[in-house]
Amino acid sequence: MRLDDFNYALPQELIAQFPAPHRTTSRLLHLDSRTGAVSDRRFQEIVDLIAPGDVMVFNDTRVIKARLTGRKKTGGRVEVLVERVLAGNQALAQIRASHPPREGGMLILADAIEATVIERRGEFFQLRFENCSDVFGLLERYGAVPLPPYIEHAPVAADEERYQTVYAREPGAVAAPTAGLHFDEPLLAELRRRGVETAYLTLHVGAGTFQPVRVQNLAEHEMHGEWYHVSQETVDAVRRARAAGGRVLAVGTTSLRALETAAASGELKAGYGETKLFVVPGYEFRIVERLLTNFHLPKSTLLMLVSAFGGMDNIRHAYRHAIAKRYRFFSYGDAMLIERQNRPRNS
């Protein structure tokens, strides 16, 4: 696989800068990868595409206000994007500055926070927030919503609600699991009323999801790591559905990656861990049979994942159709429901 195999031309005006007026009023492109057929729907119609006994697996991670601006104590502006909150008062973060801060250096953030640079770890810096016992609380008070780089407006109050799923529970993500942004509580209740089971896992989406792939030969790409947890309750829900002939629908690429990582041994198992799963065409899926996702950036690992799931030719055709029909792309854009051609092997 080559990086250029996953390129496409997208008109700039199709990059959604704001969400749809209401969560469920986005559009839904349905791709049947068995035939390559696509159909245009409204997102509310997803209730007609899922059968009683199917299970939908959602990522309940909660986006934290991970972006902080400030300066070095010695001068010079800095922008900090917290990647992961560690034990105690520490965190891993990306730091943008004209000159990288030194170990032991002090940052003054939001004119209120002192953070010491402990060490550098590759592209990240380990920080210690001084006089702080709750990093999540500190970020909630002083941080800003970390909107993706292709959204051009500064975050406003509405983004604090809309760049968050209605079922977000576990704080730790620096990017939203965007397939879930299309659901509201009445739609979730309607799915359950129709006999669809809903289950949850956690994968804290990292800033690496927006990092470009820098190699042409994809075998040389190293995937960023993300923390996940799959509960026994979710494992049992998946097993029940499959035993009864139902299908497993992953709501978002993050849910898919967590499920497939948790099934790496051949059997879906509960547990915690870090996934660096890099899905490209040729990957053998074990668990997920249907995928709900948004439209993804050219040359991105997420586009590679959906190409593996739906077939490269099918995805190319679907994306050309979406562009011609003026679908809205990326985090605040429209959604796509992809059917796999073959059922995963039993686990």
Residues 6+ positions from 335 with CB-CB distance below 8 Å: 26, 27, 28, 29, 43, 179, 182, 292, 293, 294
CB atoms within 10 A of CB 11: 9
* Three-state secondary structure call for residue 57: strand
Supply φ then ψ for residue 232, to 5 degrees.
Answer: -65, -35
Q: From CA 61, how far away is CA 91, in angstroms rounded?
A: 17
Per-residue pLDDT of the chain (347 residues; tens, 9 = 90+): 899 999 999 999 999 999 999 999 999 999 999 999 999 999 999 999 999 999 999 999 999 999 999 999 988 999 999 999 998 899 999 999 999 999 999 999 999 999 999 999 988 999 999 999 999 999 999 999 999 999 999 999 999 999 999 999 999 999 999 999 999 999 999 999 999 999 999 999 998 777 889 999 999 999 989 999 999 999 999 999 999 999 999 999 999 999 999 999 999 999 999 999 999 999 999 999 999 999 999 999 999 999 999 999 999 999 999 999 999 999 999 999 999 976 544 44
Question: Which domains are delineated in the chain?
Answer: 3-63+159-339 (3.40.1780.10), 67-142 (2.40.10.240)
Residue written as token pair 């005006």 = 13
Tell me, letter by letter, the H, E, C secondary structure of 266-277: CCCCCEEEEECC
Q: From CA 195, how far away is CA 29, in angstroms rounded?
A: 23
Give exposure, 40-56, as e/b (b: 16+ Cβ within 10 Å). eeebbebeebbeeebbb
202 sits in which H/E element: strand 197-203
8 A C-beta contact, residue 116 and residue 124: no
Tokens coding 330: 């990326």
Give exposure, 153-181, as e/b (b: 16+ Cβ within 10 Å). eebeeebeebbbbebbeebbbbbbbbbbb
Q: From CA 179, how far away is CA 255, in angstroms rounded?
A: 10
Q: Is 343 exposed, middle or buried (0-12, 13-18, 19+ CB in 10 A)?
A: exposed
Give which of 244, 249, 252 is closest to 234, Cα–Cα.
249
Residues 6+ positions from 183 with CB-CB distance below 8 Å: 23, 24, 58, 165, 166, 167, 251
